[in-house]
């Protein structure tokens, strides 16, 4: 059982905001991250899959195929986008790292179940100081 | 003459857009960077100052003072902001790296002229692949 | 269950030294790290907490609160300090990465138990080549 | 139980290639990584060991000793080498990240069993986007 | 006059070798870098161009166009290649960082002269410790 | 004329302190960097040399020779040392980045004048946010 990790990146706008709260309440909870005019990040997504090594290829999964899958299912939908307004799988969600990573897991798990590998872990880098990790449970 | 460099960071939303062009023309020029719903970045700003070493302190300028100056004049105005909408020194400007770095130079040069150091160079990191540098000329 | 990671930094002096041994024995065990005039590092501390996502906020814990907690309980006590001489929670300890990380765990675990998150993992970066990790067990 | 990690680096040539396949088939599977004239990488190897902290030294294992062990058993054999042609412990193997990391595990596990620490995890960085991890099972 | 920098990467095999010398002499000069079975690197190329900011676009040059130019003229020819054997613009050259960077300059300068920007500087990262820079003179 | 850069690292203790001032004055000038019990850093030193490429070797200078020279003249004297107390070429100096980099320049320039290359620039990284650069003038 070997674990492979592929890094992909996306640059997006977002804000932390819960519509059930007033603007003042949102600022009290989220601080400047609640700015209604948005801010943004260079996100890095590390996708860890696990699987047996195929003795004919020496591979668990071809990392180029994994990259294409992540790009078509996730990156193309979030890169240079507004995460609050434009992403189908993030609708009706508070756009926190926690909720982004759970939503990406759901999108990727379905697709990876069709391959030789299984999704094991996601890591989302928002800044050099802030990270989220998720194992699907 | 020693050069000192201080790194500061800001996370902002922006878009590349010139209002004299139609949306189609903006997309033709800027691609996905023209997205009207914005995108964003973790910007890094490297400020290089130069000066003589004060023999009494061993310093050209105290880096904590330099950091405070950059924060109060630049970072506080751009961090967790929309660069197109909310920054006084970026009004009526296409929000490209080129124009951001020139505008920051103008703000910082005035302030640094009041100190023992002189502004020498700015470096703006937009992504791990894209950078701008400016020497004020 | 989502894991959040916050990075904080501190710059400290220390030496590896056990007072039960002679200077020669300390050098034999620790090499140049035993230098009685100290050396130092830019330490990076990665604090991983885990918890359920609060549906009202989308957060496990507010990372700014987590940062404040780490700063007040750890960073303020170790940054620009001598780890052998000046840190209350490192008294009577050999100042190895192993012992530093265990001591930081004890300090943080108590505080985090008062929050919505639980301490899961610590990572201490001493140099780009040397790291310690601890899970509290 | 504390985990210590040591990073070591090696710069090597390799190709992805299975001799049971034709050149066309190898290109179909591995793309440009099958280039018969080789390509190469700056590999980074992160070796995680775990163990109890020796109360007399404060150490699980001396990281300089761990570094020497990794260098003599692995790095000296792979650095500035052709991984397909010149490495005894990689003979008759498809030189994928998966197989490299499994082979390094076998070499290191034997040696680490003679020390106070146990091998826990390997991480192999091939590029800034591609990584493999292995826990020996 | 603003300077823009674009980073591109390539993974290649090479050796340091001058055919006018014997194998022993090559080893004496280049050490393990002379290994006839090759070794390799993850190279990073930083291309700095300079130019006036076009007031209509806010750009010196579109970084995506710059990236495409570097990829088509350089990266496609060197990535996953053997720099000694397979690169047209590196024929009859000792494959040192010095000669690689001069040869890349010649290729890029011609192409950039057709654009709104001028080539100003190249930086070639061979390892985290070894770099070359060239200004074309 | 090609520029080559070699990175070397050292881990040292120091304090900012001018003995002509009282402790209170030193704290007023340098803040926590004046701590009499020292603090420390992982310093990175980037040494840039320039020279003509020798057509017989393709090299300006052998980077391994440059590394050895930097290690024997600088790193061996500062690594795991107290910069205020133990370094011959830093005696009677306020141990600021400015003064460290000027003192290293003097040491290296003499030695490099005996080689085929000339010292062009030094860069000293104290933290990820603070840097000094020096060109010898």
Q: Write the DSSP symbol of residue D100.
A: H
**pLDDT tens-digit series, residues A4-42:** 999 999 999 999 999 999 999 999 999 999 999 999 999
**Which are the contacts of B130, defined by CB distance < 8 A and separation ≥ 6?**
B97, E4, E5, E6, E7, E63
Chain C residues within an 8 Å CB radius of A101: 2
Asked whether the beta carbons of residue B82 and residue A35 sit closer than 8 angstroms, the reply is yes
Q: Which one of F39, F52, F80, F109 is the catalytic residue? A: F80
Q: Using CB atoms, which residue from E31, E94, E132 is nearest to F64?
A: E31
pLDDT band at A92 (very low <50, low <70, confident <90, very high): very high
What is the residue-wise DSSP string for C92-131? TS---HHHHHHHHHHHHHHHHTTSSSEEEEEEEESSSSEE
Residue A89 in 3-state DSSP? helix
* Size of chain B, expressed as the number of residues it contains: 137
Beta strands in D2-117 (DSSP E): 2-14, 39-51
Which token pair is F9? 């690292």
Going E111 to E115 to E120 to E126, the CA torsion angle's sign is negative
Asked whether the beta carbons of residue C81 and residue F39 sit closer than 8 angstroms, the reply is yes
Residues of B catalogued as catalytic: 33, 80, 126
Beta bridge partners of E43: E10
Asked whether the beta carbons of residue A33 and residue B80 sit closer than 8 angstroms, the reply is yes
**pLDDT tens-digit series, residues E107-128:** 999 999 999 999 999 999 999 9
Q: Using CB atoms, which residue from C9, C39, C82 is nearest to F11?
A: C39
Asked whether the beta carbons of residue C81 and residue F11 sit closer than 8 angstroms, the reply is no
* H or E, element range at E64: helix E63-70
Cα angle vertex F128, ends F124, F129, to 5°?
90
Asked whether the beta carbons of residue F31 and residue B63 sit closer than 8 angstroms, the reply is no
**Rounded to whole angstroms, how far apart are CA atoms C60 and C51?**
5
For residue C93, count other CB atoms closer than 10 A to its CB.
16
For residues C46 and C104, the answer to whether their CB atoms sit within 8 Å is no
Chain E residues within an 8 Å CB radius of D11: 39-41, 127
pLDDT band at E15 (very low <50, low <70, confident <90, very high): very high
Q: Using CB atoms, which residue from B5, B59, B64 is nearest to F96?
A: B59
- Which of B41, C119, C50 lies closest to A132 in space, CA to CA? C50
Q: How far is F57 from chain B (nearest CA, A)?
A: 32
Q: Using CB atoms, which residue from C14, C35, C85 is nearest to F81?
A: C35
How many CB pairs (< 8 A) connect A and C? 59
**pLDDT tens-digit series, residues E125-135:** 999 999 999 99
Q: Which one of A25, A80, A98, A133 is the catalytic residue? A: A80
Which token pair is A81? 């986008």
Across residues D13-34, what is the average pLDDT? 97
Q: What is the ipTM of this complex?
A: 0.96
Q: Which one of F86, F107, F111, F126 is the catalytic residue? A: F126
The pLDDT, as a whole number, for residue C104 is 98
Q: What percent of chain D has pLDDT over 90?
A: 99
Asked whether the beta carbons of residue B132 and residue E67 sit closer than 8 angstroms, the reply is no
Q: pLDDT tens track of chain F, all 137 residues?
A: 999 999 999 999 999 999 999 999 999 999 999 999 999 999 999 999 999 999 999 999 999 999 999 999 999 999 999 999 999 999 999 999 999 999 999 999 999 999 999 999 999 999 999 999 999 99
Asked whether the beta carbons of residue D3 and residue C96 sit closer than 8 angstroms, the reply is no
**pLDDT tens-digit series, residues C55-93:** 999 999 999 999 999 999 999 999 999 999 999 999 999
Give me the residue label for tokens 């009207």: B36
* CA distances to A72, D102, E78, E89 from A116, in Å: 18, 19, 32, 41
Q: How far is E13 from chain D (nearest CA, A)?
A: 4
Asked whether the beta carbons of residue E99 and residue F1 sit closer than 8 angstroms, the reply is no
Give me the residue label for tokens 């190329």: E45
Chain C residues within an 8 Å CB radius of D53: 96, 98-99, 102
Q: Using CB atoms, which residue from D18, D96, D129 is nearest to A6?
A: D129
For residues B111 and B71, the answer to whether their CB atoms sit within 8 Å is no
**pLDDT tens-digit series, residues F70-84:** 999 999 999 999 999
Residue A86 in 3-state DSSP? coil
- Is A80 considered catalytic here? yes
* Size of chain E, expressed as the number of residues it contains: 137
Going B98 to B104 to B110 to B115, the CA torsion angle's sign is negative
pTM over 0.90: yes
Q: Which one of E25, E52, E80, E133 is the catalytic residue? A: E80
Secondary structure of C19-84 in HEC code, one letter for each residue: CCCCHHHHHHHHHHHHCCCCEEEEEEEEEEEEECCECCCCECCCHHHHHHHHHHHHHHHHCCCECC
Nearest CA in chain B to E54: B98
The pLDDT, as a whole number, for residue A97 is 98
**Rounded to whole angstroms, how far apart are CA atoms B43 and B122?**
13
Asked whether the beta carbons of residue E3 and residue B99 sit closer than 8 angstroms, the reply is no
Give φ, ψ of C76 to 5 degrees: -60, -25
Q: What percent of chain C has pLDDT over 90?
A: 99
Q: How far is C17 from chain A (nearest CA, A)?
A: 32
**pLDDT tens-digit series, residues E38-65:** 999 999 999 999 999 999 999 999 999 9
Chain C residues within an 8 Å CB radius of D4: 97-98, 130-133
Give me the residue label for tokens 């393709």: F58
């Amino acid at each position: 059982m070997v674990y492979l990790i592929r890094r992909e990146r996306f640059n997006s706008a977002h804000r932390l905001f819960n519509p059930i709260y007033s603007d003042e309440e949102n600022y009290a909870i989220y601080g400047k991250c609640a700015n209604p005019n948005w801010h943004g990040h260079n996100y890095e997504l590390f996708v860890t899959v696990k699987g047996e090594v195929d003795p004919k290829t020496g591979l668990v999964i071809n990392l180029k195929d994994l990259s294409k899958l992540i790009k078509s299912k996730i990156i193309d939908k979030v890169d240079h986008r507004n995460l609050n307004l434009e992403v189908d799988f993030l609708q009706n969600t508070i756009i926190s790292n926690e909720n982004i990573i759970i939503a990406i897991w759901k999108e990727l798990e379905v697709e990876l179940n069709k391959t030789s590998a299984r999704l094991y872990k996601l890591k989302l880098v928002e800044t050099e100081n802030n990270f989220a990790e998720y194992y699907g449970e």
